Amino acid sequence: MKELFQNKVNQVAQSITHDPRWDIQNELMTQVFAFTLFGYALGVGRLTCFLDAEDIQIEVIGQLTSLGVGPNYAKGLIEHAFTLFTTEDKESYHSQLIGIGHSHFASETLKELKESIFKNTEQLKRQS
């Protein structure tokens, strides 16, 4: 089951990071990607593959660091994402991004999830 989980998370990550709009230098986009990917991975990992939360976090951190995100920064993002997911805070935009990713864990197509990364980055950019 762990291999299935890794393949699904990798497929989503590659779909997004191979898009011409992807920019690893855009910190906001990287954060949107990280929180959304974590939500997706949590859904697949817990509900489909029955993995521990720690294994899910390790996979997402690995995806981020493979893109060039600093290990400590990646770990901090995902630890924060896990904390938000396990608390009652559902109002923050980070929590909402986790929810978006989580809502797509059983989707047949990744198009809507992929588009959400770029649309949400632009929306958050306009709000700041």
Q: Please give the C-alpha separations between residue 106 and each of 42, 44, 62, 79, 93, in angstroms, as whole numbers.
A: 11, 7, 22, 24, 22
Angle formed by the axes of helices 27-42 and 53-66, nearest 10°: 150
pTM above 0.85, yes or no: yes
**Burial class of residue 124 in the structure, from the number of CB atoms within 10 Å of its CB (0-12 exposed, 13-18 middle, 19+ buried):** middle
| Band of residue 58 on the pLDDT scale cut at 50, 70, 90 | very high
The torsion defined by the Cα of 5, 9, 12 and 15, in degrees rounded to 10, comes to -110
- Mean pLDDT taken over the chain: 95
Integer Cα distance of 90 and 50 in angstroms:
24
| pLDDT at residue 7 is higher than 90 | yes
